[in-house]
Amino acid sequence: MKKNKKHIINTEPAEANLFSYRKYAFTQFKKNKPAWYASWLLCLIIFIALFASFIANDQPIYAKYRGKNFYPVFSQHWLIKSIFNTNAVDSTINPETGYWEKIQFDITDWRTLELEKVIWAPIPYSPHKQDIYNNDFASPRSKQYMKNAQGKIVESPWFFRHHLGTDALGRDVLSGLIHGTKVSLLVGFFSVIIAAIIGVFLGSMAGYFGDNRIKISRASFWFSVLGIIPAYFYAFHVRRFVIADAFADKIWWGCVQLLFSLFIFCAIVYLFYKAGTLLKNRFFAKQVSLPVDSIVSRSIELLNSLPRLILIITVSAIIKERSLLILVIIIGFTSWTEIARFVRAELLKVRVLDYITAAKASGLSNRQIILKHALPNALAPVFVTVAFGMASAILIESGLSFLGIGVPEEMVTWGSMLNAGRQEFDAWWMIVFPGMAIFITITIYNLIGEGLRDALDPKLKN
Amino acid sequence: MMLLVSLMAFWISASAPGDPVEILTNSGTAQGSSNNISVKKDIKDSLRNKLGLNKPLFYFSLNSLAECDTLHKIYDKLTRNTLSRLTAKYGNWKEIHAYYTAILNLQQKSLSLSADTLLLRCAADSADLMQKDEVNNSLNQIINETNSLLHTYEHNFIQTKIDSIKNIIYDQNYLNCFKAEADNLSESYMQMIANSTGWKNYVPVVRWHGLNSQYHQWLKNILLKGDFGISYTDGQPVITKIWNKFLLSSRLIIISIFLAYLISIPIGIASARRRGSWFEKTTGTILFMLYSLPGFFAGTMLLYWFANPDHWVWFPEGGSQPIDIDLSQMNFFERFAYQWPYMVLPIITYTYSSFAFISRIIRVSMLEVLSQDYIRTARAKGLSDNRVIYKHALRNALLPVITLFVNIFPAAVGGSVILETIFNYSGMGLAGFDAIRNYDYPMIVSLFTLSGFMTMIAYFVADLLYAFVDPRISY
């Protein structure tokens, strides 16, 4: 018993003294007050984006009409629709005539119905809904009108006012801001994920292997180079119409087909590579090094030397299809260079350290060393770049929508609202509020990025 | 490197949608509304020859055995698409070509014969008096169906179209003269399906075109003659069009980068010197805010405040110079006197974002340098604070800023698209944006190449500056 207790006492301080880098970084991050508050604000923004249709919606969350209960908001989303089995159309009996009357949720103006009980969304407007009584830029301070349940046009009560005004078509700005959060966050998040995947992969290859660590036989090298031709042929040329049709059908399906083609491409090149290893002739089997680092560095330079915005605009002009997915992919594919550069630099430092040599000596494969031992130590700058990358992705997306390209026309985003405000200078609310929304979001990401940098890299902290 | 950029630019222009010749002829000959199709076709053909569009795209091409190597000579992109889809399906170019010529024959014949001639013929043949519009109607139907056949590649649709053409022709006596072509068409289609050699699609063939390719011609024109081609929108040579815009833009960019460095270096130094003071804290916060402030928002706000009759009309609303005054006769200073109000707001917008960025970097690098041993040594020697900072620390602290120069330059060129659109400043960015909206690809390509080239220059300048600041580096 006594022995046991002693054992416990002995272990506890040992665990407490164990230096945990993660814990240290977290406490450092928490000490940085602006960054800490910014991350809470980010959570709030994510919350707004997730529940946008519950926060701003012209359909009530719950309504009782002619003795029947409705949950219109729940019927909008396909996921909720399938869970709760609700329809977007319902019908009631008109007590005066005795006939069934159909209510289609999305085109009904719920405010004109004599509802017995109702729970509105906090902002009772949808971003696309045009308000004919307050169109042509209703100011937040001016008189606003609405049709009430008695069918009369009255001045809007406080709850039904457009608190941040409307645009030319009478669409509510506040509601647009709230729903625009979704677009901004989605673009920021997914394009950075794409960029991070490409950047970490290429960066670690370049940094770890350098120019002369991958050695393949001469035959394999030339076979692989030769193999690119048939690989391209079978993967992309033969399947070009399959891919084009898939893209015309559904964009995600096109992406799947494209990935499949990429798989075929890699498989064929790999086959040629393997075929090259079979040649045992002295000339063919001579080892040559593959200049991975040079290739990656050159392509980083190439991509950096082109103005990114012009590149993105050009590509999105060629792909006439406007869609969020394509925009995300384009931004992702053009912004991996920063991450790749950092990862490469870190791995160049890490790969000569003793523990990597030890890992190699103990017979671990390159893949294991990179993934388990080298990369985790190089990820700190990646997190920092990811935070800054989100800010710049959001900036690019809003800049593109500001120019009127990129996202689909009917999609309300912060940038497109700002663009509408630019056309009509009297409507200051169309400039100030969306602009502030972009500004605040970017500030939040930048603050978090700074905080992460200070927390993760104690050397940089001054 | 430049070659890669040019390759990429060329690839973009080649894969761009829309036929340049169509655009050019539509924009160029808008005033002369000659409806004569054959004249138009001649013009188009000569234009194609001039632009070299009847040549293969690249030095070599990778095709399947089934495909013909002269497909690029069919200009209509939709027809080309149809034919290559048919090839991908049936894999017998000979039969497909026969089918294609059968369609063309029918089309030619139906276009060449008018209702009158048909009526004349049938007046001799039959006693019925035909209604002219009825004849016209069925003739038009044939023309429509044959035209749409050129753009159809799905079996069912082709079948119904051929059937309907045959029905029309066999129904009416006066369309007898089309029978041969229609039969030929359906016969050739049957042949195409019957003799399909799909396996040929899976045999890769590399064809060598040599120097007789579009890319070679394009590259040659640029390198030897400095000729980037002609703009699709107005037929002007791109290079003269771009050069003026480039001057306008580069003026903005260079002034604002210069200003940014001029402001940010003292700010960065000052905030590094007074570490922890209120000065450092406030400038730090302001700089951070400016850094996060999107340029297009700031630009719009500036316009809203300073170029708006409701507030102040200090600066003009947009443009690059007064419209009603001819500036071409004046000397530089007089011209500048008229132009500067148009440049103030864009320069402010350009400058603030980069100077916020630069001064933050300078501050960090200055702090790093100030903690070094040799600075402590210099202080211990009793040197004055100014001497330590400006003589010993500044040069080393400037190193990372020079690297920035390389990044700021392309960013400024790219950012000019948005800013010049806001201020309606007719520089390179606005030209590029207009070009993209009008699918003016020679413009886009040369813009692309030019900005890549300018970045190269920025790299070079940065290298020179490195050598100037850091004596350890020498070339």
For B236-292, the pLDDT digits (tens) are: 777 888 887 888 888 888 888 889 888 888 888 888 888 778 888 888 888 888 888
Q: Which residues of A touch B64 (CB under 8 A)?
A: 233, 237-238
Q: What pLDDT is stored for residue B453 in this prediction?
A: 76
**Contact call for residues B153 and B78 (beta carbons, < 8 A):** no
Instruction: Over range A298-324, report the average pLDDT.
Output: 78
CB-based contact B417 A308, cutoff 8 Å: no
More confident residue, A407 or B114: A407
- Inform me whether the pLDDT recorded for A8 exceeds 60: no
Contacts of A421 in chain B (CB under 8 A): 300
Share of chain A above pLDDT 90, in %: 13
Contacts of residue A130, Cβ cutoff 8 Å, sequence gap at least 6: A169, A170, A171
- How many angstroms separate the CA atoms of A50 and B255, rounded? 44
Name residues whose C-beta falls within 8 Å of residue A257's C-beta, 6 or more positions apart in sequence: A239, A242, A243, A246, A247
The 3-state DSSP class for residue A289 equals strand
How far apart, in whole angstroms, are the C-alpha atoms of residue B217 and residue B269?
53
User: To 5 degrees, how large is the angle CA B258–CA B399–CA B277?
Assistant: 80
Residue with tokens 């702090």: B367
Residue A308 burial (CB < 10 Å; 0-12/13-18/19+)?
buried
Nearest to A129 by CA among A145, A109, A102: A109
Contacts of B292 (CB under 8 A, 6+ apart): A391, A439, A442, A443, A446
The average confidence (pLDDT) of chain A is: 81
pLDDT mean over A146-174: 79
Q: Are residues B294 and A399, on separate chains, in Cβ contact within 8 Å? A: yes
Nearest to B421 among A304, A403, A438 (CB): A403
The pairing of strands A117-119 and A145-147 is: unpaired
| Closest residue on chain A to B7 (Cα) | A302
Q: Which B residues, 299 through 328, put their C-beta within 8 Å of a C-beta on chain A?
A: 300-301, 303-304, 308, 310
User: Which among B453, B356, B465, B463 has a CA at the least distance from the CA of B413?
Assistant: B453
A313 touches chain B (CB under 8 A): yes
With an 8 Å Cβ cutoff, are B85 and A304 in contact? no
Contacts of B444 in chain A (CB under 8 A): 314, 317
Within 10 A of A373 (CB to CB), how many other CB atoms are there? Answer: 18
* Owner of token pair 């043949």: B125
Q: A90: closest CA among A77, A107, A111, A112?
A: A107
Which amino acid, B19? D
Which regions of A120-277 does DSSP assign to beta strands (E)? 145-147, 153-155, 215-217
Angle between helices A379-403 and A308-318 (to 10 degrees): 60
d(CA A225, CA A218): 11
Give residue A46's pLDDT. 93
Which whole number is the average pLDDT over A312-335? 81
Beta strand A287-289 with A215-217 is antiparallel
Q: For A436-445, how does the pLDDT look when each residue is reduced to its tens digit (9 = 90+)?
A: 999 999 999 9
Report the residue of chain B nearest A418, measured CA to CA. B297
Q: Are B282 and B267 within 8 A, CB to CB?
A: no
How distant, in Å, are the alpha carbons of B156, B366, B396 from that of B472? 75, 19, 11
Query: What is the spatial distance between Cα A298 and Cα B5, in angstroms, rounded to a whole number?
Result: 12
Backbone angles phi, psi at A20, to 5 degrees: -105, 120
* Burial call B401-410: b when 16+ CB within 10 Å, e when fewer: bbebbbbbbb
Which of A242, A247, A309 is the best substitution to test chain B (most B C-beta atoms within 10 A)? Answer: A309
A298 touches chain B (CB under 8 A): yes
Q: Give the Cα separation of B49 and B60 in Å (integer).
A: 20
Q: What is the DSSP letter of A372?
A: I
Q: Which of residues 42-71 of B touch A (CB under 8 A)?
A: 62-64
Contact: A425, B368; criterion CB under 8 Å = no
CA-based angle B341:B243:B407, to the nearest 5?
A: 75
Amino acid at A96: E
Provide the pairing of β-strand A145-147 with A153-155: antiparallel
The pLDDT, as a whole number, for residue B21 is: 65
Whether the pLDDT of residue B147 is over 50: the answer is: yes
pLDDT of residue B435: 81
- CB contact residues (below 8 A), chain A span 421-450, against chain B: 421-422, 425-426, 428, 431-432, 435, 438-439, 442-443, 446-447, 450
Closest CA to B439 of B76, B72, B22: B22
For the stretch B48-99, pLDDT in tens is 666 666 666 677 777 777 777 666 666 677 787 788 788 777 877 788 888 8
Q: What pLDDT was estimated at residue A3?
A: 47
Among the partner residues B300, B436, B451, nearest to A317 by beta-carbon distance: B436
DSSP A374-412: IGGGGHHHHHHHHHHHHHHHHHHHHHHHHHT-SS-TTS-
* pLDDT at position B122 over 60: yes
Q: What is the pLDDT of residue B49?
A: 66
**Beta carbons of A316 and A400 less than 8 angstroms apart:** yes
Does pTM surpass 0.95? no
Let me know if B329 is exposed, middle or buried by CB neighbors in 10 A (0-12, 13-18, 19+).
exposed
pLDDT at site A126: 81
Query: Locate tokens 């033969």: which residue?
Result: A238
For chain B, what is the mean pLDDT? 76
CB neighbour class for A424 (10 Å; exposed up to 12, middle 13-18, buried from 19) = middle
Distance (Å, rounded) from C-alpha B438 to C-alpha B206?
Answer: 35
* Half-sphere exposure at residue A31, Cβ-oriented, CA atoms within 13 angstroms: 10
Instruction: Kindly tell me if the per-residue pLDDT of A28 is higher than 50.
Output: yes
